[in-house]
Every structure is written in C-alpha cells, then in structure tokens.
Amino acid sequence: MTDQLDFRENPQEANAGILPVAEPDHPRATKSRTQDDLFSFVGAVAGALALDWLLYTKILPFSGTLGFLVLWYCLFLALFAGATAVGNPSQVVVDRVVGAAIRGAAALVFFALFTSIMFTFVRGFPALTHLNFFTKDMAGVRPTDALSRGGILHAVLGSVIEIGIAIAVTLPLGVGTAIYLNEVGGRFSKVVRTLVEAMTALPSIVAGLFIYTILIVMLGISRTGIAAAAAISVMMLPIIARSADVVLRVMPGGLREASLALGASKWQTVRQVVIPTVRSGLATALILGIARGVGETSPVLLTSGASTYTNVNPLQEPMNSLPLYVFSAVRSGEPEFIARGFGAASVLLALVLILFVITRFLARQKVGKR
C-alpha cells in the first residue's frame, strides 16, 4: 500500500509504466444551476402549457380549471425530464424532476393557505372597517342590523379566557405526562402512552359530550366558560403530551448521563438540563395544542352555549367564543351577519398568529444566558 502511494506521488515512475496515474474524483454537481437548466425550465413550462391547451380544449373531452392545471403540471414534469436528460446523467435528471415536484407541492400548499386566508379577509373586510366591530358586543343587535352596530368583543374575550384556562391546565399536565413517559417510566408507562396516542384522534363532539355529562348533568354545574375550557382542555391535552413526548425522546441521552455523572439528582437533571434544552420544542407542542383547541366549536356549543353580551366571569352564565360566533353568523343567511362572521374569522386568524408569536418569543433560546 505504501509503494502504491509512493508511485502515485512520482509521475515519472508512473509514466514509465510502473503504475498508471489515477484521475482525481470530482463530485457530481447536482445542485448547481446553469443557463441550460433555466432554458429547460422555461421551455418545459411553455411547451406544457401549449400542449395542455391543445389536449384539454381540442382533443380530450374534459373541462374545468382544476383539471387543466393538473394536466399542465404533469406535462411540465414530463417535458422537463426530457429536456434535462439531454446532456445530463440520469442522477441529475432525477434530482431536477424530484426537486421540481417537491417545489410544486410546496407551492400548492402555500397557494391553498394563501387563498383561504385572503378569501376570509376579503369577505370580512366590510365588517373590519368599523371600529364598533372590535369594541361592542351583540347585545340588543339583530342579525339584519347594519354593520355600524354591534361587534365581537364578547366573543374575543370569551375565546381568550377559555384558551387561557385550557393552557393553564393542559401545559403542566401535558409536559408532566411526557416527563413521566421518558424520564420516570414504570409499569404503566406503556398504558399511558397508548392512551395519549389514542386520544389524539378523539372527535371534538365526544369531548364536548364527556364534559357535558360529567360537569353539567352529573355535577349540576351550569353551562359556563369553565365548562367550555374543560372541554377544550380534553382536546388540547393529548396533542401537547404527544408532541412533548416526541421532543423529549429525540433529546441526546448524553446530556442526561453527563448531569447524572456530575452528581445531580433525577429531578435536578429534568429541571436544569432536560427542560431548558427542549424548551423550543415544548413551545412547538404548545402551539400545536393551541391550534387544536382555539378553533373548536361543538364542545363550546354543548358546554357553554352562545351569548350576545359580554361576560368575563367563566364561573357564571354562558360565554361565547369566536368559533361559535363564526358558526352562528355564517349559517344565518343574512348578508350583514355573514360579513360579521367572516370578520370574526379574520380576527381569529390574527389572534392565533399573535399567540404563536408570543409563545415563540417566550420560549426562544437565549445564547449565553442560563
């Protein structure tokens, strides 16, 4: 082996026929883009559009915008693969086609999300332009009244209070469940994990019926905001627990072992090493739980009921929420009330975004600070 290396380092001996000089290996550049790639992409898009128009409108007995776009995309991938295959190896062709397909799928998801949000804001824009929409409730306002009367203040406060109570209940329980499954364990850990995974697919109406039966029918508690918060907590708890469990399972075990080797107890390791390390992941778990609970309608309808006035006491009287307000407004059939419903949906989207930003800000890692 040493002689071969010496021969490679002496070109004269290698050229004399003792050992052929090996050509250096060059990695195949699959990520670089050239001018030919740009021309291939543009040509494939234009050619697929022309061929799609010919097939879809003149030859095939099809119609509709959706089918036209789907066929255009399939033809584009085929033409792009053919154009890329000219002068490129098969590995580069596969890389280009798969990359185009993945980017197209991501663009489709973004387009669907963007159009849904824009449709909601456009339909609710007439209501959003009135200040009273944010500062008044619907007490004494009929569905047919003008948009200059009434608002969603009672629904906004109800959603914030109910979600706040649900977070205060589910966050420690969900994180505690995940810590038990990963850091403590025991004979019941598999049973608990199975129950958590099964409850992630629990229908919201079942959660509402469960709280309605336990709190309202059996215990005699009236339909209030605290009952709605309990129903929302049932929906959020398995999401937070399951997500936090995944976050803790992917944490490097060497950090735990190092802490224990330095003499720290199990609780000190969890409190000072595990939780600070996975704090951003726990924030993601909380965000997923909020996303599940903030849009629930049926549990709130069963356990709290709708109201038209402002109520900030979750222990007394019904308490409305934004999803329930949107449900009632959109199905009313009145144009003014429908506009209020889409406006409330726009406010709900903004509220969720604000909660996500606050959660990320509070859980972000601060480098250099412990």
| pLDDT for the residue numbered 333 | 79
Q: Is residue 16 part of a domain?
A: no
Identify whether 320 is part of a domain. Answer: yes
Measuring CA to CA, which residue among 78, 73, 75, 69 is closest to residue 103?
A: 73
Q: Are residues 50 and 111 in the same domain?
A: yes
pLDDT at 27: 53
Note whether 104 and 170 are same-domain residues: no
Of the residues 110, 126, 142, which one is the last residue of a structural domain?
A: 126
Q: Answer yes or no: is 136 within a domain.
A: no
CA-CA distance, 124 to 147, in Å (whole number)?
A: 11
Give yes or no: residues 160 and 291 share one domain: yes
Residues 78 and 160 in one domain: no
Give percent of the chain above pLDDT 90.
10
176 plus 50 within the same structural domain: no
Assess whether 102 and 157 both reside in one domain: no
Q: Which domain holds residue 61?
A: 35-126
Tokens at residue 47, please? 């050619």
Of the three residues 126, 141, 164, the one that is the final residue of a domain is 126
Contact 151/137 with Cβ under 8 angstroms? yes
Q: Helices in 129-188 by DSSP H: which ranges?
A: 132-135, 153-179
Is the pTM value of this prediction over 0.85?
no
Q: For position 25, what pLDDT does the model report? A: 53
DSSP string, 300-349: HHHHT---SS----TTSS----HHHHHHHHHTT--HHHHHHHHHHHHHHH
Please list the pLDDT of the chain residue by residue as tens digits (370 residues): 444 444 444 545 445 555 454 555 555 555 566 777 778 888 888 888 888 888 888 787 777 788 888 888 888 888 888 888 887 788 888 888 888 888 888 888 898 889 988 999 999 898 888 888 888 888 888 888 888 888 889 889 988 899 999 999 999 999 999 888 888 877 888 888 888 888 888 888 888 899 999 988 888 888 888 999 999 999 999 999 998 988 888 888 888 888 888 888 888 888 888 888 888 888 888 888 888 888 888 888 888 877 888 888 888 888 888 888 898 888 887 888 888 989 999 998 888 888 778 777 766 654 344 4
25 within domain boundaries: no
Same domain, 111 and 57: yes
Q: Is 214 helix (H, G, I), strand (E, B) or coil?
A: helix
191 lies in the same domain as 62: no
Identify whether 57 is part of a domain.
yes
Enumerate residues 6+ apart whose C-beta is below 8 A from 280.
Answer: 363, 364, 365
- Out of 126, 161, 193, pick the residue that ends a domain: 126
Q: How many domains are contained in the chain?
A: 2
CATH number of domain containing 277: 1.10.3720.10
**132 belongs to a structural domain:** no
* Residue 157 and residue 121 share a domain: no
